[in-house]
Chains A and B, each alone.
Chain A
């Protein structure tokens, strides 16, 4: 038997074994002759014997729904802080997260630059009255507006 045929045969035998086990028609390994297959069947038996397979009863479903509704009400009444709503993953589901966070980072840098530019002498005091004196700040403000537009774009509801 070629390797492909052997594997195909094992695929079929193992899935058939799982079917019979789940239908309650099988309780032990089926392959006495094939050690490899027997090992896999034992793994399936082990999985099936300890893992939960009982279904939910109707009363359990109803109780869980009551608790779910209570939790939803509780969450709705708890007002989130601005920073929590901004950075919380749940609230970011409709945002393109990496771009949104990058835009916020750039915004923070630009705001810092606008604030500290007079301190660093970037306001062109030596050329007061000329068109050039507002150059750096103008670029910063344009950049600031561009970033705010980007944030609004990424934060929009899709």
Chain B
């Protein structure tokens, strides 16, 4: 693991690491994992019940590993991984709906893993997660980028290919939509 930390210090680009991985260097994937796990985890944790977060996060990285061979670098790896994460989150909710299970994990499952959280807070979190999952994708995305990934509005604008005014407008409309979902 110390080797991984040392490699991160040298900061090879994501693209260089992907090339190394394609050439058979498994360690390159570990470095990519360490570089991106925080954002993937935060994003998943923001919208998936606590008990399922690690499982879904693992699925994101397994899917990434399987698909890296076909990654052509048309977009940045971080953007590609964000899209993959969104697909896995959508797949999680789709599978749950198909199985006709409750929309969200049992409260006790989530509660057991959350130190320092009251059950009322957990109920509120689950309620907000459900509301977020029902928002249109661009609304959910702008909220996730600002709150889960802690990106500044100018960074979000750049990622979304918009100007900052359009991004702030999208953010306000997303909050209006979220309030609507929470009031329902």
Contacts and interface: CB of A to CB of B under 8 A. Distances in A.
Given A40-B172, A90-B63, A93-B70, A22 B150 contact: yes
B96 interface: no
Contacts of A56: 37-38, 41-42
A134 to B, nearest CB: 43
Contacts of B175: 14, 40, 43-44
Interface stretch (A62-70, A110-118, A139-147): A62-70
B172 A14 contact: yes
Interface string A45-65: 011101111011000011011
B182 interface: yes
Interface in A61-115: 61-62, 64-65, 67-68, 71-72, 75, 90, 93-94
Nearest to B173: A11
A22 B147 contact: yes
Nearest to B34: A61
B62 A68 contact: yes
B46 A51 contact: yes
Contacts of A158: 70
B146 A18 contact: yes
**Which residue, of B41, B143, B168, has the highest number of chain A Cβ atoms within 10 A?**
B168
Interface stretch (B11-19, B53-61, B97-105): B53-61
Contacts of B168: 11-12, 14-15
Interface residues of A, number: 37
Contacts of B63: 90, 93
Contacts, number: 102
B42 A40 contact: no
Given A55-B38, A93-B67, A62 B176 contact: no
B29 to A, nearest CB: 10
Contacts of B147: 18, 22, 47-48, 51, 53
Given A52-B45, A158-B70, A47 B62 contact: no
A14 B173 CA distance: 10
A24 B54 CA distance: 28
Interface of A: 7-8, 10-12, 14-15, 18-19, 22, 39-40, 43-44, 46-48, 50-53, 55-56, 61-62, 64-65, 67-68, 71-72, 75, 90, 93-94, 157-158
Interface of B: 1, 30, 33-34, 37-38, 41-42, 45-46, 54, 57-58, 61-63, 65-67, 69-70, 121, 124-125, 128, 143, 146-148, 150, 152-153, 165, 168-169, 171-172, 175-176, 178-179, 182
